[in-house]
Amino acid sequence: MNIKRAKEEIKDTVEAYLMKGEDGEYLIPPIRQRPILLLGAPGIGKTQIMEQIARECGICLAAYTINHHTRQSAIGLPFISKRIFDGKEYTVTEYTMSEIVASLYEKMEQTGLREGILFLDEINCVSETLAPAMLQFLQCKTFGNHKIPEGWLIAAAGNPPEYNKSVREFDVVTLDRVKKIMVEPDFAVWKEYAKEQRLHPAVVSYLTARPSCFYHMETTVDGKSFVTPRGWEDLSQLLKVYEKLGKKADREVTVQYLQHDRIARDFANYLALFEKYQMDRRLEEALEQGKISEDMVKRASHAPFDEKAAVVSLIQSRCSASFAEAVRREKILEKIYGILKAGHRELTEEEAVPRNWISKKLEETEKEYFGKKKAELLDREAEKIFRESIKLLERYAKDLKDKNPVSGEEAYGLLREWFSEEQDRQDLLWEKCGQTLEYAFDFMETVFGNSQEMVLFLTELNSDPISIFFLQQYECSRYVRYNKELLLDERRRTLDMKLKNRPLQ
């Protein structure tokens, strides 16, 4: 299955394992909660989906690459103790608590969360001395003499033998005690993730045109040549920072991440083409001011398809970047609105002190932010929203202190006025984003008309979560019209091709 379906399966399993009955006991007893064994090619996102699942379920995650551990760190150190059996004293060997099990208790103390996932990567590549302990762990959920805490699920990941010479095959007894999930690379699913994470548009557009380059693994006389989703994502992050630094990434840079010479060279050429348009001031003027130069029209309309695809991707990414700011601001205002709405009654009570109230709300928001951050329950976007919300509350607190309202009613009136001004600025921001989209359609119509490039533009808009969210708030008649006309025609052509190529019965 693909990584998206695997995530759904694992999340469903987590929810099922952690569901309790009326008596407070888990409906599936811990002894019947099979460890999850995730097997798939390297670099396809096995670790990342575990992080996402933990955040979405609101539980802890403790992740280890198990082949970095020794037998002692996994099961604990031996020591001699005294035990009495049948009235006689004997010396016996016991073990200190496993470093891994101890870390779970530390995690619970740090975060205040009692449930979580213990994730062990490279589970089938452990050393010969550690292998028996790993088999015992999967079968009995213990490291040495110590069980993992109740409420903690076990998930493990590994690579199939064809990708790693160090892989150890699990026997039937072990496999019969795990929930085994095989994962395969899938570009369509990864593209959804890439759009959500706002990876570099050159990476996304290149792979859209050449999906066969998304994952590649081959053995040559010079060794392994490969490209993985992890490589593409890490390269994307570097490219975004390089742009801020004003640096260029050529083939010598891309091959450090894409360890396949042909693909690295081809992407470097595509990136140079993409950056050429990205730096073109005329394209920027077209999207910001609606000025479309004849030179740009002539150059883009007569370019090869790869170049046209780069232009379309660049236009869509500019629109998406504009939308992202407005969407983030909208979520910040939603958070602040919830705080102010809930505080109306408190503020208008006679004994309420306005400045104390806003300071209290600021303190509560900061506490929630730091608690969730410490528990690793926030992704980068959620962190930004929290930080900006805190800044806005700090500003309100300072302004209230300066105004020194004499009553809660007066304080609430001031807060409502300031928040209304924020909403007015947000409305202007939505309008600016809408104008950017309208300019984008002007450019697409002038340069490409009702062509496959327009279809590509609409498809990219429809696959981008930020664009979808914006278009649900902003009414764009051309977007609606082209969606009905062009995408319907495209689906008809695809269906016709399938029917023509269908073999006779």
Question: Of the candidates 303, 283, 305, which has an alpha carbon nearest to the alpha carbon of residue 443?
Answer: 283
According to the model, what pLDDT value does residue 165 have? 65
pLDDT of residue 447: 87
79, β-bridge pairs = 94
Mean pLDDT of 454-482: 87
* pLDDT of the residue at 503: 45
The whole-angstrom separation of Cα 279 and Cα 256 is: 25
| Res 120 pLDDT > 90 | no
Residue 20, SS3 per DSSP: strand
pLDDT tens track for 42-68: 788 888 888 889 988 989 888 887 766
> Coil, strand, or helix at residue 487?
helix
* Tens-digit pLDDT profile for residues 207-237: 988 888 999 888 777 778 889 999 999 999 9
DSSP code for 211 = G
Distance CA 278, CA 194 (A): 20
Q: Rounded to whole angstroms, how far apart are CA atoms 97 and 106?
A: 12
| Predicted local confidence at residue 293, as pLDDT | 83
Asked whether residue 2 carries a pLDDT value surpassing 80, the answer given is yes
Is the distance from CB of 301 to CB of 447 less than 8 angstroms? yes
How many angstroms separate the CA atoms of 495 and 86, rounded?
A: 81
Which pLDDT band holds residue 498 (cuts at 50, 70, 90)? very low
- CA atoms of 335 and 313, how far apart (whole Å): 32
Mean pLDDT across 347-376: 79
Helix (H, G, I), strand (E, B) or coil at 118: strand
Tell me the Cα Rg of the chain.
28
Chain center to CA of 427: 28
pLDDT of residue 499: 34
Indicate the pLDDT class of residue 355, thresholds 50, 70 and 90: low
Q: Is the pLDDT confidence value at 371 over 90? A: no
Share of the chain above pLDDT 70, in %: 89
Residue 298 one-letter amino acid = K
Report phi then psi at 310, rounded to 5: -65, -40
Place of tokens 């085994």: 180
**Number of other residues whose CB lies within 10 A of the CB of residue 18:** 18
CA 50, CA 63: separation in Å to the nearest integer?
9
Looking at the chain, the whole-number percentage of residues with pLDDT higher than 90 is: 19
Contacting residues for 169 by C-beta, under 8 A, at least 6 apart: 124, 161
Name which of 185, 207, 418, 440 is nearest 320 in CA terms. Answer: 440
Residue 353's pLDDT is what? 65
Q: What is the pLDDT of residue 351?
A: 54
Q: What is the pLDDT of residue 73?
A: 64
Q: How far apart are the first and last CA of the chain?
A: 30
Cβ burial of 257 (10 Å; 0-12, 13-18, 19+) is buried
Q: Is the pLDDT of residue 350 over 50?
A: yes
E strand or H helix at 85: strand 78-85
462-476: b (≥16 Cβ within 10 Å) or e: ebbbbbebbbeebeb
Query: And the tokens for 201?
Result: 């548009």
Give the integer Cα–Cα distance in Å for 401 and 226. 60
pLDDT digits (tens, 9 = 90+) for 423-440: 999 999 999 999 999 999
Mean pLDDT of all residues belonging to the chain: 83
Check residue 325 and give left, alpha or beta (phi > 0: left; psi -120 to 50: alpha).
alpha
Q: At what angle do helices 3-17 and 46-57 cross, to 10 degrees?
A: 40
pLDDT at 141: 80
User: How many other C-beta atoms are found inside a 10 Å radius of the C-beta of residue 502?
Assistant: 8
DSSP state of 42: T
Task: Tell me which of 19 and 136 has the higher pLDDT.
Answer: 19
Distance CA 351, CA 360 (A): 15
On whether the CB atoms of residues 77 and 96 are closer than 8 A, the answer is yes
What is the rounded distance in angstroms from the CA atom of residue 94 to the CA atom of residue 76? 9
Residue 433 contacts residue 461 (beta carbons within 8 Å): no
pLDDT beyond 50 at 500: no
Q: What is the pLDDT of residues 124-183, one digit of tens each?
A: 777 676 777 777 777 778 877 778 888 899 898 887 776 666 667 777 877 888 888 888
pLDDT the model gives residue 70: 64
Query: How far apart, in Å, are the Cα atoms of 378 and each of 53, 105, 164, 381?
Result: 12, 21, 33, 8
The length of the chain in residues reads 505
Distance, in Å, from the CA atom of 41 to the CA atom of 224, rounded to the nearest integer, reads 14
pLDDT attached to residue 235: 94
The strand pair at 152-158 and 116-121 is best described as parallel
Nearest to 188 by CA among 201, 168, 216, 207: 207
More confident residue, 166 or 342: 342
Residue 94 is predicted with a pLDDT of 66
Give the separation between CA 231 and CA 256, rounded to whole angstroms.
9
